[in-house]
Amino acid sequence: MEILSDMWKEKVTFIGINIDDEKSWKEFSQRKNIKWIDLNDPKGAFGLYIRYKANGTPFYVLVTPDGKITDIWYGYNKDSLSERLKQGIK
């Protein structure tokens, strides 16, 4: 994710929302040295995860600057994530 965040920093704002408990979230963020916006949902899997009908992690929502959701998907594969960003950002 760090590589993609650096690659797309001019066109994309990456925001990570963790659903673990606060202690685990902070430890993970420090261990991974996360450089993008990194938040925690105190409602865990019953907050935004449910609201956006997530069915796996990591879970991605591509939102335009005017707030329109253009794509939702889950699972991490650097190549497919990069391809989805290319298709979603024109």
Q: What does the alpha-carbon distance between residue 90 and residue 74 come to, in Å, rounded to a whole number?
A: 21
Does the pLDDT value for residue 40 go beyond 90? yes
Q: What does the alpha-carbon distance between residue 13 and residue 27 come to, in Å, rounded to a whole number?
A: 23
Question: Domain spans of the chain?
Answer: 2-88
Look up the pTM and report it.
0.76
Q: What's the pLDDT at 52?
A: 82
Architecture of the domain whose range is 2-88: 3-Layer(aba) Sandwich (3.40)
Q: What's the pLDDT at 28?
A: 93
Q: What does the alpha-carbon distance between residue 53 and residue 3 come to, in Å, rounded to a whole number?
A: 27
Does the pLDDT value for residue 39 go beyond 80? yes
Does the pLDDT value for residue 26 go beyond 90? yes
